[in-house]
Each structure stands twice: as C-alpha cells, then as structure tokens.
Structure 1
C-alpha cells in the first residue's frame, strides 16, 4: 500500500479540525469560568484541564474501538449512524450560528449542575460538555470511513491533537475569556458553527446515498 503523505496529512487535518470544532473547547472554558463560585487559581485550572482532557481522550478511544461493535450488536449500519449523526451536528450548528452553546452537547440543567459541583473536571466539563452526542456521532462516522490501519492511526492522532488543544484552552481559560470577551466568544462560536454545519451536510448526504443504493 503506497503511503501518500499529502493525502494522509489532508485526512489528519480533516479529522482534527472536525473534532476540535465539535468539541468547542473555548465554550467549555467559558462555562468552566462561569461555573466557579469563586475565582479559579492556576492550580485549579491545571487540575481541571488535565482531568477533563484525559476524560475526553479515554472516552474517545473507547468509542473508536468499541463503538462499532455495540452498533453491530443492534444491527445499526454505519450509514444510519452517518445520517443521525449529521442531524445531531446540524442542530448543533444552528445553535452555534446563533451564538449559543448548543444544547445537543449538554442541557441547561447540566450547566447549572456545574455551578453546584466542587469538582467539575470530569462531570460535567469532560462529559457531557466536551464529550457529548455530537462528538460520539462524529467519532463513529470517522471510524466507519477508516478503511485501513493508517486511517485509524490518523484518527487516533487527531484525538491526541484535540486533547492537546483542550488542555491548552482550559489551562488558559481565564486569559482567553478575558481577551475574547462575550462578543469574541460569540464570533468564535458562529465561525465554528459554519464548519460544523458543513460537516453535518456531508454526513447526511453521504449517509442517505449509502442507504439509498441497496434499494
């Protein structure tokens, strides 16, 4: 099998940008800051960023390597996952384009729960604010599209890159939210919403085409 560096780099970028956009770590950083009843210290942000990052990465690897087996157990095809995953992402993108944090990744009640919890790093920051239905669907679809060992390796690398971005973003959450402000956060959310919407459209179209072919 010939190794095409350009094609594989393009695939890695596609995976990484898709995952980072859907994770939306900047929004998670804003929630982390607003959820703290008192001022977060440097040690607090370091602990939260580490635990949340490990939570997302471990959950992502479990989804990549065990998710298909679970769906096969119920007779669910990758094409069906692609369609419903695309719909979930489309709903996310509509909220994001309006400058809102998408409720498909987590609910208002879960955001309120973050205020009451002493340790928010794993729940709800790690799950479900970062690792929610949108990310699960995307990982499942990317895994279904991975036809060989190289593609799966690139997907694993993309998860690691995404984890690094999560860690750096949460670690510097106070600085980022102070620099960006409310307007900056909404602009970033809208830009990410465009990317998520484009990914959603691709998933839905490809999924419907694949489901239509056997008919």
Structure 2
C-alpha cells in the first residue's frame, strides 16, 4: 500500500510540475525584470509561488464543487482539460509560448506593471486552466483508490512538492537561464511538451470513453 502511495505521489507531482512548467516561467520572468535589479527575483519568486499555492488549494477543495453547480461532471472536465493541455503541448513541442497560458496583450500589459509576481506570472503563466483541470482530475482519480481523505492528502503533498520546484526555479531563474541558454530552454520545453501531450491524450481518451458509456 505504501508503494502505491509513493507511486501515485510521484506520478501526480511529475504531472503538475510538467504542466506548471516553472522553467519556462523562469525564462519569462527574467525577460520581464530589469537586469539592473537582480535582487528583486527573490520577492517576486515568493509572491508568485504563494499565489500558485493558494490557487491550487482553492481548486483542490472547491473546484469540483463549483463545476457541479453548473452541472459539469469530471468527465467533461477531462475532455476540455485534455484539449487545453494538448494545445499547450503542441506549442511546447514547437518551442513556443502557449496562448492558452497568456496572450501577447497580457504580456504587454505586464511590462507596464511594477509587480508581475501575481499577475501575470502567478496567474495565468504558471497557474492556468490546464492546472485547474489537472488538479480536479487527479483528485477524482485518486479518490477511487485511496478514498476521499487519502486523495486530498496525496494531491496536497503533490502540490507542495510542485510548489517547491516552482519556487526554486523562479528564485534561481538567472542561474538556470545562464546555464541552459536559449537552446537548452527550447530542448527542455520540447521534452516537457511530449509529457504534457501524453497526459492530455489520456485525459481525452478517459473523458470521451466515460461520456460515451454514460450516453449508452
């Protein structure tokens, strides 16, 4: 049973980290921050990470309930989440920034802001619709195996580990950017795009299959 918990924890954490894509977010943050103020990275990293953490926990404990109020079940969330993630994955596979995360207009507006940590870095660059769908789907899937409490504990632990990765990536964005360079960032983004694409495909298949069985 312990091995099942560890295996699920690793799976969920890898899924969240890949979809959050903190390395790409770190690169975007560097492009938005003045090179003359490197000391500002730490407070920005902290506030952006805190924003993602609060948004993730809010989604975990109330996201599915909100969708149910609109008559939307988890299977439908899997389908639309899979489509959104597939769009992100395709852009990542081509080494491009996804419009599903943020638009050029949002980026232009961000350049005029003094504090980019909450918007657009925390939301929507890091925490977007793909992360919302992933958290809800993972929690629903884990409930069937580990029960409601066990699922909440597992997803909470996955969120904590993912958030730690996000903070470290943003905190040391300058070092990461210098170490990987543009080519390294593109290669890593493409690899992560394949993982996101696989997750998206699984969401789509499970969602469509479940809706088909319900209709039958």
Q: TM-score range by the shorter chain?
A: over 0.9
| Cα distance per residue 1:103-145 (max 9 Å; x no partner) | 1111111222222111111111001100011111111211221
| Cα distance per residue 1:57-98 (max 9 Å; x no partner) | 000000010111111101101000001100100011000000
Partner in structure 1 of residue 198 of structure 2: 198
Residue 27, structure 1, aligned to residue 27, structure 2: no
Partner in structure 2 of residue 135 of structure 1: 131
Instruction: Choose which of 73, 85, 90 in structure 2 pairs with 1:89.
Output: 85
| Cα distance per residue 1:8-66 (max 9 Å; x no partner) | 11110111000000001111111111112443323x11101110111000000000101
SS at 2:72's partner residue?
coil
Deviates more, 1:66-75 or 1:143-152: 143-152
Following superposition, which runs of at least 4 residues in structure 1 exceed 6 angstroms of deviation? none
Partner in structure 1 of residue 189 of structure 2: 189
Distance 1:111 1:180 in 2: 23
Distance 1:181 1:38 in 2: 16
TM score, norm. by length of structure 1: 0.95
1:150 is displaced (CA, Å) by 1.3
TM score, norm. by length of structure 2: 0.95
Distance 1:87 1:40 in 2: 39
Partner in structure 2 of residue 154 of structure 1: 154
Residue 73, structure 1, aligned to residue 69, structure 2: yes
Q: Structure 2: 5+ residue runs without aligned partners?
A: none
Counterpart contact for 1:37–1:115, Cα < 8 Å: no
Aligned-residue Cα RMSD (Å) equals 1.0
Counterpart contact for 1:48–1:120, Cα < 8 Å: yes
